[in-house]
Amino acid sequence: MTADSLYRELILDHNSNPRNFYVMEDADVYLEGYNPLCGDRITLYLKYDDTGERIAKASFQGKGCAISMASASMMTEAVQGLSKDKALQLFEQFHDLITGKLPEEQAYDALGKLIAFSGLKRLPTRVKCASLAWHTLKNALLGKTSEKVSTE
């Protein structure tokens, strides 16, 4: 099996069985994100630990293409337990990967299985599908929750 087909399997699996896919009743923050180009919509929920600096739980709800759903699912797994700063750093690394600024070989240590999305650098129109959940996360972490997040 090639890496590409392995990554495709992973994305399809997270799309058909999204992890952390629920409305979090006790969330500290929740925020909606929308990608008008594709019609992807998500609501992201975060619960912080007692210090308020670390993500204790992340979940989402939404509807959209396979890439947007798989990305949100894998993101909620990846950021659970991370400090806000570390999660923001992961966003930057993920964004650099899917826009082709971070070579795949260097990305694996930082991103683990999130490098499944590395093929998107050849599909620029889908980059917003994969980054929707992450842009929503960034605004939520920075406390910019008064407005819906839009990729446009």
Q: What residue ranges bind Zn ion (CB under 5 A)?
A: 38, 40, 65, 68, 129
Min separation Cβ 35 and Zn ion, Å: 6
Residue 87 or residue 133: which is nearer to Zn ion going by CB?
133
Shortest spacing between CB 12 and Zn ion, in angstroms: 14
CB-nearer residue toward Zn ion: 36 or 81: 36
Least Å from the CB of residue 126 to Zn ion: 7
- Name the DSSP class of 22: S
Written as six digits, the tokens of 120 are 């998107």
The residues with which 126 forms a beta bridge, in sequence order, are none
In whole angstroms, the minimum distance from the beta carbon of 100 to Zn ion comes to 19
Give the nearer residue to Zn ion in terms of CB position, either 27 or 137: 137
Q: Is the Cβ of residue 24 or residue 97 nearer to Zn ion in the bound state?
A: 97
Q: Give 129 or 133: the residue with its C-beta nearer to Zn ion.
A: 129
Q: Buried (b) or exposed (e) across 30-66, using 16+ Cβ within 10 A?
A: bbbbbbeebebbbbbbbbbeeeeebbebbbbbbebbe
Q: Which residue has the tokens 């992201």?
A: 44
**How many helices and strands (H and E) does the chain possess?**
5, 4
In whole angstroms, the minimum distance from the beta carbon of 56 to Zn ion comes to 28
Using an 8 Å Cβ cutoff, are 117 and 8 in contact? no
